[in-house]
């Protein structure tokens, strides 16, 4: 199941499915399924309620789907599929070639000693940095490098303490694409990567049963038509299961906790006038994660994300004069 949160006339819950004839992804509005959530009283539990109650929610979704209204994805703003993660755990330098590029560029390491992930461990991004694929990113510190980092992201489905790698995938609810926007400089990673909207998650959550093994998915990101990042998760130093084992040996993981697994090589600055695409490999399981992200910088410091269909080569999109809609030329 591909589960999306969206904003239309109000916050909604949807299921994304590909039309058999058109090949176009559509959104089935199953917002009433949220009525299956328990009502909480203070103090609130440290979980994401949607993920913690996913079994009840998915039962309700199956009941609603046959008569659910269908909405074009272009009519909604996609929000982060997890609204209230207890924490966002992130992996630094988790691809060897990315470790090499950071060590070789002072603009990236800023005289900091860059340890391997086994020595550096993990870091946390602020949950307030979370943004959906349709919400846009507001850049900070424009006098410094701000880089794109495409990453496989995943969401914890049930409470995990000291879980072994062999059992770890049973604790994963699903997968998404993460964009770990990063300010370069001397400060701790947690500070530089926690600005509001610097943790893009989406475009939706693809449940683990649809993805299968997360260990050989392709990630690609291009800017202005130039391919900048292309790697497979088989190249991860610590894979998804090992990240769960590592993290859960230090702290408890709760339903809804989000992981960013680290970026491959090819990180470069983002800025005004750039368009970032995150196309998914066609006919591949990751196709279930994302059709195509499309980011465009607008003001000097802001860009929006659009979800488009088709391959990057097919796309020649421009903004309609004076409007916020997009049209194909």
The DSSP secondary structure of 181-206, one letter per residue, reads: -EE-SSS-HHHHT-STT-EEEEEEEE
C-alpha to C-alpha distance for 145 and 182, rounded to whole angstroms: 8
Whose CB is nearest to Mn ion?
A: 180
Question: Looking at beta carbons only, is 30 or 200 nearer to Mn ion?
Answer: 200
* Binding residues among 151-180 for Mn ion as defined by CB under 5 A: 180
Residue 102 CB, nearest distance to Mn ion (Å)?
A: 11
Quick note: the x/- pattern for Mn ion over 208-247, rule CB under 5 A, is: ----------------------------------------
> Between vectors from CA 219 to CA 127 and to CA 303, what angle results, nearest 5°?
55
Contacts of 273 (CB under 8 A, 6+ apart): 297
CB-CB contact of 217 with 174 (8 Å): no
Least Å distance between CB 323 and Mn ion? 35
- The answer to whether 203 and 133 are in contact (CB under 8 A) is yes
Closer residue to Mn ion, CB minimum distance, 102 or 211: 102
269 vs 171: CA distance, rounded Å: 35
* Site residue total, Mn ion (CB under 5 A): 3
Q: Which stretch binds Mn ion (CB under 5 A): 100-108, 145-153, 235-243, 319-327?
A: 145-153
User: How far is CA 233 from each of CA 9, 153, 208, 214, 313, rounded to the nearest angstrom?
Assistant: 37, 11, 15, 7, 24
Q: Which is nearer to Mn ion, 149 or 245 (CB)?
A: 149
Is 193 or 254 the residue whose CB approaches Mn ion more closely?
193
Hey, what are 16's tokens?
């994304």
- CB contact burial 190-220 (16+ within 10 A = b; e otherwise): eebbbbebbbbbbbbbbbbeebeebeebbbb
Q: How far is the CB of 150 from Mn ion (least distance, A)?
A: 9
Closer residue to Mn ion (CB): 25 or 149: 149
Q: How far is the CB of 90 from Mn ion (least distance, A)?
A: 6
Q: How far is the CB of 236 from Mn ion (least distance, A)?
A: 12
CB of 81 to Mn ion, least distance (A): 19
Q: Which is nearer to Mn ion, 149 or 257 (CB)?
A: 149
Give the residue with the Cβ less far from Mn ion, 127 or 207: 127
* Site residues (CB under 5 A) for Mn ion, limited to 176-205: 180
Please give the C-alpha separations between residue 187 and each of 5, 79, 120, 274, 287, in angstroms, as whole numbers.
Answer: 33, 29, 15, 26, 36
Integer Cα distance of 61 and 51 in angstroms: 14
206 binds Mn ion (CB under 5 A): no
**Cα-flanking dihedrals φ and ψ of residue 125, to 5°?**
-95, 145
3-state secondary structure of 288: helix
149 forms part of the interface with Mn ion (CB under 5 A): yes
Shortest separation between residue 106's beta carbon and Mn ion, angstroms: 19
Helix or strand (DSSP H, E) at 276? strand 275-279
**253-282 binders of Mn ion (CB under 5 A):** 263
Residue 197 or 263 having the CB closest to Mn ion = 263
State in angstroms the smallest separation of the CB of 27 from Mn ion.
29
| Residues in touch with Mn ion (CB under 5 A) | 149, 180, 263
């Amino acid at each position: 199941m591909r589960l999306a949160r969206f904003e239309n006339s109000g916050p909604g819950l949807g299921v994304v499915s590909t039309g058999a004839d058109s090949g176009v992804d559509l959104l089935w509005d199953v917002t009433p399924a949220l009525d299956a959530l328990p009502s909480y009283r203070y103090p609130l539990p440290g979980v994401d309620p949607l993920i913690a109650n996913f079994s009840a929610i998915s039962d309700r979704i199956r009941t609603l789907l046959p008569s659910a209204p269908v909405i074009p994805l272009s009519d909604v703003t996609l929000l982060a599929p997890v609204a209230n993660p207890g924490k966002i755990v992130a992996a630094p330098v988790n691809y060897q070639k990315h470790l090499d590029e950071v060590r070789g560029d002072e603009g990236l390491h800023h005289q900091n000693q860059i340890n391997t992930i086994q020595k550096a461990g993990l870091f946390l991004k602020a949950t307030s940095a979370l943004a959906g694929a349709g919400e846009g990113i507001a850049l900070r510190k424009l006098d410094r490098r701000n880089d794109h980092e495409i990453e496989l992201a995943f969401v914890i489905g049930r409470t995990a303490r000291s879980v072994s790698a062999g059992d770890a995938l049973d604790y994963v609810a699903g997968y998404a694409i993460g964009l770990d926007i990063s300010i370069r400089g001397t400060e701790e990673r947690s500070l530089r990567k926690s600005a509001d909207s610097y943790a893009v998650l989406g475009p939706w959550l693809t449940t683990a049963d649809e993805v299968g093994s997360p260990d050989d998915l392709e990630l690609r990101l291009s800017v202005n038509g130039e391919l900048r990042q292309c790697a497979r998760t088989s190249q991860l130093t610590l894979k998804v299961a090992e990240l769960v084992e590592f993290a859960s040996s230090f702290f408890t993981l709760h339903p809804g906790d989000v992981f960013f697994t680290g970026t491959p090589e090819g990180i470069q600055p983002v800025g005004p006038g750039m368009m970032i695409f995150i196309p998914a490999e066609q006919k591949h399981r990751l196709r279930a994660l994302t059709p195509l992200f499309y980011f465009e910088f607008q003001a000097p410091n802001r860009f929006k994300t659009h979800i488009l269909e088709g391959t990057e080569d097919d796309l020649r999109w421009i903004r309609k004069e004076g409007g916020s809609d997009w049209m194909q030329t």
